[in-house]
Amino acid sequence: MKDLDRLWAPWRMSYIESSKQDKEECIFCVKPRENRDEENLILKRGRYAFIVMNLYPYNTGHVMVSPYRHVPSLVELTDEEGMEVMKLVALSIKALQHAMNPHGFNVGANIGRIAGAGIAEHVHIHVVPRWAGDTNFMTVVSGTKVMPELITDTYKKLVNSLSKVE
């Protein structure tokens, strides 16, 4: 019998424990009000929307753009909100290109729980940088994603990059 292989990922415990917490609070409403941008991984604030890093990313550099206003769908945004959300999506792509040189991007919004939205009540757009070969045996065989960089290091890179591409 083969020995059991172990993959230690202690950072996952905060994700597991967060699923036990009260889900009444919307992170897209609460985090901007706290005015602790670095701690909350908020990269950029606009008048109607902001860019925030995903604390549980699909890939290194995964960010989200969210309006401040608590609405479940893009169709409920005002013209000003929608325009700023899309400008911040484009700015996110520029900053990620500058800082990390990805080969491509996945950009999208999951609108509604059935579409996969983890926070269905507050619309947000995911911007996920992609590289050739970023799906490897760990993802395919064990369902485990290896993140090669600390999220705090990625945050610093992206803040610096945003200041250069604006």
Catalytic residue IDs: 124
Q: What backbone torsions phi and psi does residue 50 show, to the nearest 5 degrees?
A: -150, 160
Q: Reading across the β-sheet that carries 104-108, which strands appear in turn?
A: 42-45, 49-53, 63-67, 125-130, 104-108
Return the exposure string of 71-97: e unless at least 16 CB atoms fall within 10 Å of the residue's CB, then b: eeebeebeeebbebbeebbebbbebbe
Count how many residues are written for the chain: 166
Burial of 130 (0-12, 13-18, 19+ CB in 10 A): middle
